[in-house]
Amino acid sequence: MAPKKEEIVKKKASYGAESIQVLEGLEPVRKRPGMYIGSTGPAGLHHLIWEIFDNSRDEAMNGHANRVEVVLLPDGYVRVVDNGRGIPTGIHPKTKVSALETIMTTLHAGGKFGGDGYNVSGGLHGVGASVVNALSIHTRVEVHHEGAWFMQEYKQGIRKAAVKQMGKTKFNGTIVTFKPDAEIFKEGTEFNWDTVVTHLRQQAYLVKGLTIHVIDARTYEGKVDLEGSLYIFDLGWEQPSQSFYFEGGLKSLVKHYNEFAKPVHKNIFYVEKEAEGVGVEIALQYIDDLSTKIAAFANNIPNPEGGTHITGFKTSLTRLINAYARKNGILKEKDENLTGEDVLEGLTAVVSVKLREIQFEGQTKAKLGSMEAQSATATVFSDAFTLFLEENPDDAKEIINKGLLALRARKAAKAAKDSVLRKGALEGFSLPGKLADCQSSDPSESELFIVEGDSAGGSAKMGRDRRTQAILPLRGKILNVERARLDKMLGSEQIKNLVLAMGAAIGDTFDLNKVRYHKLIIATDADVDGAHIRTLLLTFFFRYYRPILEAGYVYIAQPPLYKITHNKKEYYAYSDEERDNVYKSLGFKLEEIGEVDITETIEDESKEEGDEEEVTTKKPKLPPTQRYKGLGEMNPDELKETTMDPSKRVLKIVSIEAAEEADKVFEMLMGNEVGPRKSFIQTYAKQANLDI
Ligand code: 1YM
């Protein structure tokens, strides 16, 4: 959250109002909200909840609270309740106002009370509350402390009145109710239930023993009784709600991550210990998969880019696994060590550190920079993991076997890559026989059409502009290698041809400057097989040719779905909607006609190719319309006009994100786990059926 933390002189003090440091008012927050909450979009809006929640969570981490409730209320309000000590309400000696008011209405007001508590939010305790207050149209804070119940309200961060004692109470805790200011959050002030639930679930894993209730009471029609019970949850409303409580902490989180995966060993490794003044908590388990998931946290802040703690962890993991494998004769003297890459394959791990002084690399908190976290993590992990391997020999054996498998796969992949390279190198300029190359040798004007199937390939060859357009037909089914590791694809003739045609090698020797075409156009059919092949090609580019994607060289052709013939003129439509628009523009009224008249080419398995039957449903009033199921159904002229001619065609550029998405789909379709594939197929079965 708040920048320029360094400016704050940290002062050790015991609990009390006098240890709060006051720096400035709240105007800067409303002037530049982005500086304090990142953005005024949805992320910034949700950040408000996290800020208030963090104060409750810190109270729990310091051992004073064990329950937090987050309620989305009607009319855009949010309420966060905890059962901690309550924000101090005593009078501050300098400002002569209540500590509560100072915390809520001044920037950088906070305090480090109770000396040895972790400064868990990576800032000063309570610093975020004033920012939330400044950006809310209405805030109400209630503190229940030692039998007394206090309250103060604010508008856009400005108090309405002094802190008031409302009465007596038997609770202890803090309640903050606020409504984000629509003037600030111009994109909208509606919270996303899933975002809130996901964030709070993760937080529950990070704070062992803390119960978090999340309640969606936005549609509640009764009066919201803010002054009744401390916990709305206790009132028994029938509202969507979720509660999280994880005794196992990070162990539970690893279990959650691996919920749909197949573990390669039974016991989840877990340690929680302090070294060199740094709290370290680690959990891990290997699964039968190629991916690696390491979640990193420093003072409960996610570090998507890792940092010193992750470095310490990874280095130790590689060293310990090799040491154990050698000691137990699994790796012989002549064998080479497993690499860091090998031991990461299939790993799910969570590493969380707690530091008193925290340093991040760069402006965001994405990467931890504190050096002491590296050695502390290494120390704690080394001792505990060595013991784990020794006490759980079955788990140890499976973990090492998994690493050995990765090592073998890595070597096989390298051999395959080398052979592709060698072939390219040996044959000099010789290109694959399947490739119909273009005449131009200027990559910036050259295009390679990667076409599904030999028959479409034939049409494309005839319809192309030979000067700038090259065609590489792929035999569809062969690419459909089920359950294959991607490494194996490199052994496939089809992929080798593609690599050779592109002319830029692969792996370590890849050179973007050598790519022979600056447009690589994937042209597959608009059916399930076509989608499958496209996914596979995109995955291939994503994993082996990311620079090509980043350079924006990869495109997807958009062949039309329909051809409409009317008065000797032809019209192409790329979607059902476009087709209907064509009808309308030609003066046909869809509403009156109802069903659309479509001529389809029905393929009959028992007949020879080309011997197809035309089935036409006669509905008199619409012009003849042909639906293309594949590129192969188009003649060269049609293909040229609709898909290849640069002045008429539509191409979709592939972003790195789209390729990453394809990679995920590929993993699901081709991976070892049956569950996700099954549910994917069930979900998309309806869409798939349309093509049959
Ligand atoms: C719903 C939001 O803010 N709870 C909360 C905040 C504080 C305390 C307890 C607290 C902390 C300390 C001592 C301490 C805060 N205190 C301060 C400050 N819930 C919510 N619960 N006594 C009470 O850290 O030593 C800031 S936040 F600065 F006054 F200590």
> Could you read off the pLDDT of 293-302 as tens digits, one per residue?
999 999 998 8
Any atom of ligand 1 within 6 Å of the Cβ of 123: no
pLDDT of residue 478: 47
Going by the DSSP 8-state scheme, the letter that residue 672 receives in this structure is S
pLDDT of residue 5: 36
CA dist 471 and 409 (Å) reads 32
Nearest to 650 by CA among 553, 574, 585: 574
Q: 532-537 long-range contacts, Cβ below 8 Å, gap at least 24?
A: 532/480, 532/669, 533/452, 533/474, 533/476, 533/479, 533/480, 534/662, 535/662, 535/665, 535/666, 535/669, 536/479, 536/480, 536/489, 536/666, 537/450, 537/479
Across 546-570, average pLDDT: 92
Based on its alpha-carbon atoms, the radius of gyration of the chain, rounded to whole angstroms, reads 32
Residue 111 phi/psi, 5-degree rounding, is: -160, 155
- What angle, rounded to 10 degrees, do the helices at 393-426 and 372-391 form? 110
CA dist 358 and 1 (Å) reads 13
CA dist 671 and 484 (Å) reads 8
Highest mean pLDDT among 104-108, 409-413, 521-525: 521-525
Across 489-517, average pLDDT: 83
Please report which confidence band the pLDDT of residue 424 belongs to, taking 50, 70 and 90 as the band edges: low
pLDDT of residue 423: 52
Nearest Cα residue to atom 21 of ligand 1? 86
pLDDT tens, position by position, 41-73: 999 999 999 999 999 999 998 899 999 999 998
Q: Is the pLDDT of residue 224 over 80?
A: no
Centre of ligand 1 to C-alpha 80, Å, is: 13
Any atom of ligand 1 within 6 Å of the Cβ of 78: no
Nearest to 395 by CA among 287, 516, 253, 245: 287
Across 502-517, average pLDDT: 85
Chain position carrying tokens 């390219």: 424
pLDDT tens, position by position, 86-142: 999 998 777 788 999 989 998 854 443 333 344 444 444 567 899 999 999 999 999
Any atom of ligand 1 within 6 Å of the Cβ of 456: no
Residue 670 phi/psi, 5-degree rounding, is: -105, -10
Q: Is the pLDDT of residue 671 over 70?
A: no
Residue 354 phi/psi, 5-degree rounding, is: -125, 120
Name which residue leads in pLDDT, 417 or 229: 417
pLDDT of residue 622: 82
pLDDT tens, position by position, 440-492: 999 999 999 999 888 899 999 999 999 999 999 988 554 544 444 556 666 67
Centre of ligand 1 to C-alpha 371, Å, is: 29
Centre of ligand 1 to C-alpha 126, Å, is: 6
- Is residue 629 a contact partner of residue 599, using CB atoms and an 8 Å limit? no
Mutate to test the pocket of ligand 1, among 23, 55, 226 (most ligand atoms within 8 A of CB): 55
Q: Which helix (H) or strand (E) holds 626?
A: strand 625-627
Nearest Cα residue to atom 15 of ligand 1? 87
Nearest to 481 by CA among 438, 536, 429: 536
pLDDT of residue 414: 75
Write out the DSSP string of 510-531: --GGG-S-SEEEEE--SSHHHH
CA dist 355 and 372 (Å) reads 9
Centre of ligand 1 to C-alpha 499, Å, is: 61
Mutate to test the pocket of ligand 1, among 113, 121, 136, 144 (most ligand atoms within 8 A of CB): 113
pLDDT tens, position by position, 567-596: 999 999 988 889 989 988 988 876 655 555
Look at the domain 431-559+651-687 and name its fold. Rossmann fold (3.40.50)
What's the one-letter identity of residue 123? G
Q: Which helix (H) or strand (E) holds 675?
A: helix 674-689
CA dist 48 and 42 (Å) reads 10
Centre of ligand 1 to C-alpha 59, Å, is: 7
Any atom of ligand 1 within 6 Å of the Cβ of 119: no
Relative to the CA of 141, which ligand 1 atom is closest?
1
Highest mean pLDDT among 54-58, 430-434, 631-635: 54-58
What is the pTM assigned to this prediction? 0.60
Name which residue leads in pLDDT, 289 or 220: 289
**CATH classification of 250-410, choosing from 3.40.1000.10, 3.30.230.10, 3.40.50.720, 3.40.50.2000?**
3.30.230.10
Centre of ligand 1 to C-alpha 364, Å, is: 25
Across 345-364, average pLDDT: 89
Going by the DSSP 8-state scheme, the letter that residue 258 receives in this structure is T
Name which residue leads in pLDDT, 692 or 274: 274
Cross-strand pairs, 653 = 555
Q: Is the pLDDT of residue 323 over 90?
A: yes
Name which residue leads in pLDDT, 332 or 600: 332
Nearest Cα residue to atom 11 of ligand 1? 87
Any atom of ligand 1 within 6 Å of the Cβ of 15: yes
Which of 22-36, 119-133, 554-568 is predicted least confidently?
Answer: 119-133
pLDDT of residue 111: 47
Nearest to 201 by CA among 281, 263, 256: 256
Residue 328 phi/psi, 5-degree rounding, is: -100, 15
Centre of ligand 1 to C-alpha 355, Å, is: 19
Any atom of ligand 1 within 6 Å of the Cβ of 473: no
pLDDT of residue 481: 42
Mutate to test the pocket of ligand 1, among 15, 53, 87 (most ligand atoms within 8 A of CB): 87
Q: Which helix (H) or strand (E) holds 688?
A: helix 674-689
> According to DSSP H, which parts of 283-392 are helical?
308-327, 340-344, 372-391
Which of 123-132, 155-164, 204-213, 472-481 is predicted least confidently?
Answer: 472-481
Q: Is the pLDDT of residue 601 over 60?
A: no
Angstrom distances, CA of residue 80 to CA of 159, 226, 369: 19, 12, 32
Q: Is the pLDDT of residue 2 over 80?
A: no
Going by the DSSP 8-state scheme, the letter that residue 327 receives in this structure is H
Across 242-256, average pLDDT: 89
Any atom of ligand 1 within 6 Å of the Cβ of 82: yes
pLDDT of residue 656: 83
Any atom of ligand 1 within 6 Å of the Cβ of 174: yes
Write out the DSSP string of 179-223: EE-TTT-TT--PPPHHHHHHHHHHHHHHSTT-EEEEEE-TT--S-
Any atom of ligand 1 within 6 Å of the Cβ of 84: yes
Q: For residue 98, count CB atoms less than 10 angstroms from its CB and return exposed for 0-12, middle for 13-18, buried for 19 or more.
A: buried
Name which residue leads in pLDDT, 644 or 433: 644
What are the catalytic residues? 452, 525, 527, 529
- Is residue 107 a contact partner of residue 28, using CB atoms and an 8 Å limit? yes
pLDDT of residue 507: 72
Centre of ligand 1 to C-alpha 298, Å, is: 20
Pair of tokens at residue 38: 């990142």
Write out the DSSP string of 416-433: HHHHHHHHHHHTTT---T
Q: Is the pLDDT of residue 520 over 90?
A: yes
CATH code for residues 27-244: 3.30.565.10
- Is residue 127 a contact partner of residue 38, using CB atoms and an 8 Å limit? no
Any atom of ligand 1 within 6 Å of the Cβ of 128: no
pLDDT of residue 411: 83
Residue 419 phi/psi, 5-degree rounding, is: -70, -35
The ranges assigned to domains in the chain are 27-244, 250-410, 431-559+651-687
Across 345-350, average pLDDT: 95
Please report which confidence band the pLDDT of residue 342 belongs to, taking 50, 70 and 90 as the band edges: very high
- Is residue 316 a contact partner of residue 324, using CB atoms and an 8 Å limit? no
Torsion, CA 218, CA 220, CA 225, CA 231, rounded to 10: -70
pLDDT over 90 percentage in the chain:
51
> According to DSSP H, which parts of 478-558 are helical?
486-489, 493-502, 528-544, 546-550
Mean of the per-residue pLDDT values for the chain? Answer: 82
Relative to the CA of 17, which ligand 1 atom is closest?
29
Any atom of ligand 1 within 6 Å of the Cβ of 99: yes
Pair of tokens at residue 249: 């902490």
